[in-house]
Structures are given as C-alpha cells and as structure tokens.
Amino acid sequence: MKLSNRAIQIQASPIRKLMPYANNAKAKGLKVYHLNIGQPDIETPREMLDVYANYEDKVLAYGPSQGLEIYRKNLVKYYLRHKIEINIDDIIVTTAGSEAIIFAMMVTCNPGDEIIVPEPFYTNYNGFATMAGVKLIPLTTYAEDGFALPDDEKILDKINERTKAIMICNPGNPTGAVFERKDISRVTRIAKEHSLYVISDEVYREFIYDGLSHTSILDMPGMDDLGIMVDSISKRYSACGARIGCIISRNKELMAATLKFAQARLCPPTIDQLAANAAIDIEEQYFKSILTEYDKRRNLVYDALVNIKGVICEKPKGAFYIIAKLPIEDAEDFVKWLLDDFNVNNETVMLAPAQGFYATEGLGKNEVRLAYILNEDDLKKAMNIFAEGLKKYIETK
Amino acid sequence: MKLSNRAIQIQASPIRKLMPYANNAKAKGLKVYHLNIGQPDIETPREMLDVYANYEDKVLAYGPSQGLEIYRKNLVKYYLRHKIEINIDDIIVTTAGSEAIIFAMMVTCNPGDEIIVPEPFYTNYNGFATMAGVKLIPLTTYAEDGFALPDDEKILDKINERTKAIMICNPGNPTGAVFERKDISRVTRIAKEHSLYVISDEVYREFIYDGLSHTSILDMPGMDDLGIMVDSISKRYSACGARIGCIISRNKELMAATLKFAQARLCPPTIDQLAANAAIDIEEQYFKSILTEYDKRRNLVYDALVNIKGVICEKPKGAFYIIAKLPIEDAEDFVKWLLDDFNVNNETVMLAPAQGFYATEGLGKNEVRLAYILNEDDLKKAMNIFAEGLKKYIETK
C-alpha cells in the first residue's frame, strides 16, 4: 500500500537522526555532552511555572482560535517595547513557531510555488515546505564571511514567476548571523519591487551580542502588506515544551485567511498560553543575565574553535549556534566516530553535522553546528573533548 | 498581493462564524445558551489538574517528537482495556486530534487524491483537506434513518483511481451515529478489496449509550496495514484546552513517515502530555457517572425535539450531538433570528446550522446540530426557548 509522495520525500530530522548513536554511547556508560540540539539549560522563569501551579479553572476548555485575548493584548505591549507597532488583530497565537511557519507557507504559496531562503537554514523549514508542497530555493551563504546576506544580484537571480516569498531567520539558526537594518532593507526593497512576501523568523530576537540591535520585518517601511513575522517563546523564555508561538502581519486579508487555517485546528494549548502571558512583564531583568551567560559561552566556544588548527568559523553575532568548517571530509562520519569510538575519561560530545542545514547538494559536508546551551564547565569539557577528538580522528583516518 | 488558492478556498468555521450574532445578543444583555459548540461543562479530572499544580522541573523542555515515552507506554494499557492491542511504536502523540487528522491525510494522499467520508461530517475535515490538497468525497447519510452507513454499492460508486482512503468518525460528530461491528466490517472489506486506507476518528469512543459497544478500526482483522486511528483526550477527559491527541497504526512504514512529519514540528506540549498521562488510570469510576449524566441530557433533548411538530430526528447512540431536521427552509436564518430577534425572559439559545457539515451543495439547509453539553436545568430552559422560538419563527415568516 503506497504512501503519499510527500511522506516519502519529507526529510528525516538531520539533528535527531544520529540519536541512536548517542543512545548507544550512553548504554556503554559514556557521558555525552549534547551540543547538537537547541534545548537551553536556562531555567524557565518562575512567573511562568507559577501559572501551571496556580491554575484554578475546573474545566480545561478550548480558547479562541486566534489565541487568548489577554495574551494577545499583552503581546502588543511586548512588541511595542521592541519598537514593533502592531495591534491585537494582527496576531494569531500558534502552537509554537512551527505552526506559524506552516501557516505562513500555506497562506502565501500554492503547491509548486517557491520561497527563497538563505542557506544553511533551520532544517525543519524543509519538512514544512514538503507538507505545503512548496519548493525552497537556497541562497548560499558562507562560513568564511560569517554567513552574510549575498549581493542583490545573487538574490535577484533566484526570482522567477513561481517565487512567492523570501524567508529569513534573523538572528539565524544555524548560522548565528544577524542581518542588520541595511541587509533587511535590501531584502524589503527587492520584495517590494517583485511583489514578494517576506517571512521573517525572529524567534532569537533577544539573543544578540556585541551591542547590535535587532531589526524586525514589521519595523520596515512598506511592509504592511508583505511582511509576515513568525515568533515563538521556546528560546526566549526557555520554554520549548510549552509550544506557544505566533504569526503576525498587518495584511488584513492574509490574517483573515490564516484565521481560517487556525479555526480548523480549533486553538493552541490553553494553560501554556496563560504561562506565556505571565512572562510578558519579566523581560528586562531576566534577559540581561541570560545574555551575559550566553555571551560567555559564545566566547568560550569560539575561542576554543579558532585555536584548533584548520577550523574555520566567524564569531556569531546572535542566537546560540555556531557553524564550524572542519579540516576533514565528512562531518557526519566524525560525529558518529565521536560517539562510537572515542572518549576522554568516559565522556564524549555530540554535534549536529551541518549538511542537513543546506539544500544545495554537497554543501556543508565538512561543517558542524554547535549549540552553546550548556554551562561553562560542561562547555569547557565538551570543547576539550571536541578538540582532542578532531586531532585523533584526523590522525586515525 | 495574492494569497494562495488554499487560503482563499479554505472554509471558514461554520460553527464559529455566527459568534458575532451571539456576541451582539450578549451585548444587549441577553443570556445565550450555547448548544452550538462541543465544549463540555464536565470538570476535568482532578488527577490531570494536579499535574499542572505539581510540576517540578525547572526547565520546560522539548519532549520526543513521538510523544513522552511514559505516556505512550500508558496509552498501550489504556487501549488494551478497550480491546485494542497495539505497542508503543504504533503511537505518535499529536497536538490534539486535529494534528492527527492532518498527518493521516498528508501521509496517505497526494494533492488531488480523494478520501470518501460519510456526510454530514465534522466540518474541520474540510480545513485539513484544503491544507493537504485532498478532495473529500461525501457519502450522504440521512437523519430519517439515524445517519446509518449507506449500502455497499453507494460506497463502491465513489471509488476511483484517485481514492486513497475512507474516513469515518465513530461515534459520529455531528450525527451521534454509532457504526457497529457489522458496519465497520463492510468498510474494511471494501477497503481491503480496493487497497484503501481507513482513517477512523474515534475521539468519542467512551460516549456510547444503550449498552452498545465501540468497534475500533484497530480491532478489525486485516487492518494492520490499512487501519489508521486518530484520537484525542479533549472530549474523553473534558480537556479540550490541553491539545493532546494521537495517531495510531500498525503500518510501520506509515508510522515511520508520520514520525518525519512529527519531527518537523518537534513535539506536542510537554506538561499537557503529563496531565493526559495522569488520566490513564482514572477511567472506570470517572466514565460511569459522566455517561449517566450525558444519557439524561440525551433523553431530555431528544424528548423535547420529538415533541415539536414537524421536527425529524432519530435518537443518537453516541457522542453528545444530535441533528434535527426542522420544518423551515433556512436553519441559518433561524439561528440568526433566535439571536437577533427572539428571547424568553431575556434568554435565548444558539445552535449550529448543519449545512456546514455537508459537502453536497444544498443538503442540511433545514437542519441544526445541538450539542447537549449543558447541565439538565440549563438544557431544559434552552430546549424550551428553542421550541417556543421555532413556533414563533414559523408563525412570523
């Protein structure tokens, strides 16, 4: 009995597919430092957890399809603090950023339509594109120049009559790159000239270093009809398990259509929305300490990497990922080897091979993504194992 | 700037679209009894709510894409109590039944493929089908004979080379019909003969009256490859806001592909799964009292309806809905009129016009769906208003 083409074609998660190797290593008694996934170790704010503890309704009921009104009202305030002026009707709360992305793709594209996206990109864009029947057209960026946005002509080259949108992730997962206002401005100019939507994944908004500031697609002129922001609280409040995100646009027709998609699935989780709502006012004090912590980790990982002979990487300016190009041929083989055949005092490290983040065949084969989501002590140990492992791997192979 | 065709075509929720009329009525000071939505008033079990209250992890982390292992293990036990023998790898936990349905459609169908579904059917199947590019082929059933499954030849008539599945909802929303083993057996025989999947929506499994028993698609012979069950805890534990469901099949290839869809969206909500898990062992004592309560309500609503001249309906055997054919032309007009122009002591009632549950043009125009999800006192008042309103409406028009 045949499955659908999309069921056959959809990419298996390149981040999760090596988990059996990690499980084997653990079964042998090894400790594995996970630098392969974006699950932060930062504590979820007490204010959020208290909501679960204090929930008093006797019936755990449906909420509105567009999300709880109190939460949407407070989101307006949150975004205003980030210089993003929207009103409550521009927001639909979604089941995490994932649902926001699939809604954005489905509402803008017919099957067969194309979305241009700088690569390497968040691998799950592939899954959503397959579900929506959308073709992602990669726009290659390079480790050597910090994954900077390519020149206009490189972008223009990708546009044809099937192109419906340009999708960016800013700050970038997996690159850690931050597109500045002048970059976003180039994207929006091209989008306006060619009547393309810009879908902007801004879930790492708060994770920006070196005093840089974040530029939202919704803070750009002329983007009322074309700008679509997708967002999530997963990383912002270290609340990945709450599954709360949103899609935001000032395009009323687009939001009315998106609401119909949202109505089909009834509503996002109710108590989790209330928890997200409780986080709205805690931002200031919470983020400074977190950013300081991540900045230390970033420096630690970057310094460790540039001290390894043959490793190429630029210091990331945002998010909590770094891509490193290694002096080897096959990063996936290296990652498996680290788990199967290597340890330092019964400890090893797991990384994400970067090839899965590229859509262009053959790219990223010698690159890995590291998520610096462990505390400094663990991170030091992990980077030491990585360095020793790489040396040994090169000697052995 | 154009939206996608699916964004334009997707059906607005016929259940939710009349809400502005209800809101107007409330703004005028009227009390509105909502018989239009399936939000039960039954309390969510204490065991579930306690999980939220007692959650102790400091980081609200991602769970596995297939759902928490402890919950899936316990689901195996739950289904075994219902004579459904599956193992843990046959289950993927989803974000409510909604996600299970869209996964089932996406994994079985290419865009343009067809799924046969008895009508009237749960309207949101339309939304999911639009998203998946699937065409729903209605198989009309009738109020006059309790929405019984049509004869084989009527089903066979609908099968062509694009048909990939038959989808049933058992017990049925909005019909309240229960397909017995002999009915399901006809469906599975046809499915096997024509190599079709059977997608069985069994979210109302526990809501069966008159001593009838439930027949699961996974308890039918020869359905290991073809049977797909979608389920949800929303109605079972009156926990609609938790958004926890699952998709279950013994077809390993199909589940492996479904897992790839599931990996793209990372995971269902974490604490809500733990809450669902806590409900596994409370079934026995909890359900008897609930079923007794719903049975009373069912009798009350049915008796009220058959005492109204010209109303046609059969007593439903499951779920908590009843469809009534009214001696008027346009049920939607009647529902609006009840909200705009009618009240009894400043109280009125809201129903769901049934036309939106039919895919065949023109059907259901004089039918309404009532959800008997209020306590007996309120239900009595609501049915009295309904009866008086219908009389007055017929006199006036």
Model pLDDT, residue B13: 81
| Domain B5-43+284-396, CATH class in plain words | alpha beta
| Complete DSSP assignment for B43-57 | PPPHHHHHHHHT---
Indicate the pTM of the whole model.
0.96
Which site among B13, B66, B237, B263 would you substitute to test the A interface, given the most A Cβ atoms closer than 10 Å to its Cβ? B263
CB B215 within 8 A of CB B168: no
Model pLDDT, residue A284: 75
Window A:302-321, CB contacts with B under 8 Å? none
What is the percentage of chain B residues whose pLDDT exceeds 90? 93
Q: In this structure, what token pair is assigned to residue A84?
A: 């993003």
Mean pLDDT (whole number) for B166-179? 97
Count of alpha carbons within 13 Å of B106, Cβ hemisphere only? 30
Task: Report which secondary-structure segment, H or E, holds A135.
Answer: strand A135-140
CB atoms closer than 10 angstroms to residue B17: 16
Averaged pLDDT of chain B: 96
CB B15 within 8 A of CB A119: no
Q: Do the chains contact at A267 and B243, CB–CB below 8 Å?
A: yes
The most distant pair of C-alpha atoms in chain A lies apart, rounded to whole Å, by 64
The minimum CA-CA distance between B43 and chain A, rounded to whole Å, is: 5
CB pairs under 8 A between A and B: 236
Measured between beta carbons, the chain B residues lying within 8 angstroms of A41 are: 59
Name the residue ranges covered by the structural domains of chain B: 5-43+284-396, 47-282
B158 confidence band (pLDDT: 50, 70, 90): very high
ipTM: 0.95
Task: Report which secondary-structure segment, H or E, holds A343.
Answer: none
The minimum CA-CA distance between B263 and chain A, rounded to whole Å, is: 6
Q: Do the chains contact at A107 and B3, CB–CB below 8 Å?
A: yes
Model pLDDT, residue B311: 96
Name A370's bridge partners. A322
Model pLDDT, residue B12: 85
| Complete DSSP assignment for B294-350 | HHHHHHHHHHHHHTSTT-B-PPP-BTTEEEEE-SSS-HHHHHHHHHHH--BTTEEEE
Closest in A6, A99, A269 to B241, CB measured:
A269
CB B134 within 8 A of CB A133: no
CB B230 within 8 A of CB B107: no
The structure tokens 């099968």 sit at B159
Q: pLDDT tens, B239-264? A: 999 999 999 999 999 999 999 999 99
Q: Do the chains contact at A242 and B269, CB–CB below 8 Å?
A: yes
Q: Do the chains contact at A225 and B4, CB–CB below 8 Å?
A: no
User: CA quadruple B22, B25, B27, B33: dihedral positive or negative?
Assistant: negative
B40 confidence band (pLDDT: 50, 70, 90): confident
The minimum CA-CA distance between B250 and chain A, rounded to whole Å, is: 13
C-alpha closest to that of B202 among B212, B215, B184: B215
Within an 8 Å CB–CB cutoff, is residue A36 touching chain B?
A: no
Closest chain B residue to the Cα of A12, Cα to Cα: B260
Model pLDDT, residue A272: 98
Measured between beta carbons, the chain B residues lying within 8 angstroms of A198 are: none
Within an 8 Å CB–CB cutoff, is residue A27 touching chain B?
A: no
Closest in B41, B58, B127 to A44, CB measured:
B58
Closest chain B residue to the Cα of A122, Cα to Cα: B264
Q: Which residues of chain A have pLDDT under 50?
A: none
B210-to-A19, A42, B55, B187, B380 alpha-carbon distances in Å? 49, 54, 40, 23, 22
Closest in A95, A111, A131 to B106, CB measured:
A131
Measured between beta carbons, the chain B residues lying within 8 angstroms of A40 are: 59
Per CATH, domain A46-282 is 3.55.40.20: no
Model pLDDT, residue A224: 97
CB B171 within 8 A of CB B149: no
CB B380 within 8 A of CB B300: yes
Q: Do the chains contact at A108 and B11, CB–CB below 8 Å?
A: no
Asked if the model's pLDDT at residue B65 lies above 80, the reply is yes
Which site among B47, B51, B234, B243 would you substitute to test the A interface, given the most A Cβ atoms closer than 10 Å to its Cβ? B243
Closest in A6, A44, A128 to B60, CB measured:
A44
User: Which of 3.10.620.30, 3.40.50.10860, 2.160.10.10, 3.40.640.10 is the CATH number of B47-282?
Assistant: 3.40.640.10
Q: In this structure, what token pair is assigned to residue A252?
A: 């009323």
User: What CA–CA distance (Å, rounded) separates A243 from A265?
Assistant: 14
CB B174 within 8 A of CB B141: no
Q: Where are the alpha helices (DSSP H) in chain A?
A: 5-9, 19-27, 46-53, 69-81, 96-108, 124-132, 152-157, 181-193, 252-264, 270-278, 283-306, 331-341, 376-396
Q: In this structure, what token pair is assigned to residue B62?
A: 């991602």
- Quick one: DSSP state of residue A354? G
User: What CA–CA distance (Å, rounded) separates A141 from A123?
Assistant: 15
The structure tokens 């000239």 sit at A193
Q: pLDDT tens, B283-304? A: 677 888 999 999 999 999 999 9
The minimum CA-CA distance between A308 and chain B, rounded to whole Å, is: 32
